A and B are shown apart, each in its own frame.
Chain A
Amino acid sequence: MVCQTKHPNMNFNLTQEQESLRNTAREFLATECPISVVREAEESGVGHSPDLWRKMADLGWLGICLPEKYGGGESSLSDQAVLFEEVGGFLVPGPLLASSVLAAQTVLQGGTDQQKDNLLPGMVSGDIILTLARGERLETSSQSGSLVISGESAFVRYAGLANQIICATRPAIGAWPDTTLVLVDSQADGVIKTAMESIANYPQFRVEFDDVSLPGDSVLGEIAEGRVALELAIKRATVIQCAETLGRAEKVLEMVVAYAGTGQQFDRPIPIGSFQAVQHRCANLKVAVDIGRLLTYQAAWRLDQNLPASDEIAMAKAQSGTLSRLATETGHSIFGGVSFTVKHDMHLYSDRAKIAEAHLGDTEYHLDQMIVD
């Protein structure tokens, strides 16, 4: 599945390898990630299923895009998008996006050879979980010869589970001119993690760093040179999150169409799917799903081809937010009042849709990133 340079030729199909990856993922998740596993992970408050995590590691999913020398699969971003459509559709719990995509790519793009050797094989095998903390108020400084991090970061995903936190610290005025990435042991003295109670019990944390002294090799890469690595990792994670959102919206569409075919209104003997009011809502979601697929894979394809992709990524994520909202609205309006109950599955989809919409920049943010001249 290595991305090969070949003669360009328009093609909107998945490759045979991608089809087979999708089918394998679908079969595996249907067995290993039924809705009961999703609910269990949510109710535990940890948002994780260690058993499922181990099995996904065995399938090579945690390192699908990483180089072979770290145990990775060397697949393209488009391949990873195919996988994440299924991950989204099955509401797979765990730090797949946070650790295996966002943090792993930050290490791969920004770390020294030594750091990559130390971290990536463990991330591929599922033994090491990393997460990323960003924020205006994170600052590293050099105090009497040693590196110290202070400040706080909100919405750090899976901080409770992560072995280490990669902190993207802001440039200190008059000192380091640009972003510095540092690795912080999440158990170190002075690292205070407070759960932010979220919809879907989503594991988001506020993390405070109370002048934490860092060992010598804590800087990921070089001081003040973290920006490029961070930006590329965020771009890739943004596309993958779009694929996840797409998969979730596709599943909602599948669920509502199936329900509309059988659900009846009071004692009328015809399914509600016969009504145009219902059909047109489903048609609107179908259009948005198709658009989401085109925009997501266009962005992934451009990154795979090393073409400029910022504009296409912004378009994909801007639409992804709209798609999330439409899927939520369509689902709840067709399932009706019952979908507001905890027993019904629809809210599992709409809660995660909202989490994804707000993560890595929402629709308005990405519209602002688009070129308009």
Chain B
Amino acid sequence: MDFDFTPEQSQFRDELREFLRAEVPVEKQEVFGQWSEDQCQFGREINRKLAARNWLAIGLPEEYGGGGKRAIEQGILAEELGYGRVSQTGFMGLGQYGSVRRLFDDFTDFCNDSAPDGGQPVAEHPLVRHQLAQRRLGMETWKLLCWRAVWLQSVGSKTDVAASITFLHGTEEQTRFAEMAMEVLGPYSTLRHGSSQAPLLGNIEGLHREAMNLQGAETTVMHRNIIAHLGLGMPDKTPEHEL
């Protein structure tokens, strides 16, 4: 196994990061649970700039005007756009991971920097530290699952079961993180985006609401069915004489 990008892929990722640092000011960054027209509009502007560099459809064949690269490059784009908080449609999986991961990293910084009682930072509290470690394990796992699914796609293998496993874990991990973060923030976690007292711009509250919405894109229950049927070969319906 090899868990690394090629040097060219790493370079593409670095160029993207630089582009996003330069092009996405903080006030334009997407906030979880907002879906404002302004942000969607900004996302379209970024898309046009990405298209001008032929990065937007980097995974499509050159004969259709794409970048002629593989699914790996498309995955890098999705993850970096998510991490850069650019409002996107059509990028599931790594895009979702990227945006949640960004919030998790910001939340971890928040816990390391905030000392509400004037004492030790929140992250030094053994329980919080422990939960941050658990959630980071969940995040790193989500990332590995995403990349496995993208890699399978890049070599033309079946991705159905791997995708369901990724989606199931990702959905549940997002919920676990949202609940954990809300627990740490206490009543501040209920403040919405726009409230001057809302920590992290109200992103945690938005994430929590979005986590519920994710169940709408094929529920975790359905993904467990798919894993059992396609992944483990278990019967996918009750025999007729039982009905």
A-side interface residues toward B, CB under 8 Å? Answer: 7-14, 78, 253, 257, 260-261, 268-271, 273-274, 276, 278-280, 282-284, 286-287, 290-291, 294-295, 297-298, 301-302, 315, 318-319, 364, 367-368, 370-373
Contact = CB atoms under 8 A, between A and B. Distances in A.
Interface stretch (B31-39, B77-85, B222-230): B222-230
B175 to A, nearest CB: 15
B224 A280 contact: yes
Interface stretch (B16-24, B145-153, B187-195, B202-210): B145-153
A274 B238 contact: yes
B228 A372 contact: no
B139 to A, nearest CB: 10
B12 to A, nearest CB: 13
Given A8-B2, A297-B1, A315-B137, A372 B123 contact: yes
Contacts of B229: 279
Given A301-B3, A372-B132, A10 B72 contact: yes
Contacts of A318: 133, 137
Q: Is the interface of B mostly helix, strand, loop or mixed?
A: helix
B153 to A, nearest CB: 12
Interface in B132-177: 132-134, 136-137, 140-141, 144-145, 147-148, 151-152, 154, 162, 165, 168-169
Contacts of B2: 8-11, 301
Given A9-B4, A274-B238, A297-B1, A283 B133 contact: no
Contacts of B233: 257, 261
Nearest to B168: A287
B235 A373 contact: no
B228 A283 contact: yes
B241 A290 contact: no
Contacts of B239: 269-270, 274
Contacts of B7: 7-8
Contact of A290 (B137, B145, B237): B145
B242 interface: yes
Contacts of A297: 1
Given A260-B234, A295-B144, 5 more contacts: A10-B3, A261-B233, A276-B225, A315-B137, A372-B136
Contacts of A367: 130, 133-134, 137
Interface of B: 1-7, 72, 108, 112, 123, 129-130, 132-134, 136-137, 140-141, 144-145, 147-148, 151-152, 154, 162, 165, 168-169, 221, 223-225, 227-229, 231-235, 237-239, 241-242
A239 B242 CA distance: 47
Contacts of A270: 238-239, 242
B1 A291 contact: no
A287 B164 CA distance: 9
17 contacts: A7-B7, A8-B6, A10-B5, A270-B238, A271-B235, A274-B237, A274-B239, A279-B224, A279-B228, A283-B232, A286-B165, A286-B232, A287-B227, A315-B137, A318-B137, A372-B129, A373-B123
Q: Which 8 A-B pairs have the closest CB atoms?
A: A279-B228, A8-B4, A283-B227, A283-B224, A367-B133, A294-B144, A370-B133, A372-B132
A284 B172 CA distance: 12
A7 B141 CA distance: 25
A367 B136 CA distance: 10
Given A282-B232, A283-B228, A370 B238 contact: no
A363 B30 CA distance: 35
Contact of A370 (B6, B136, B234): B136
A298 B237 CA distance: 37
Contact of A282 (B134, B151, B223, B228): B228
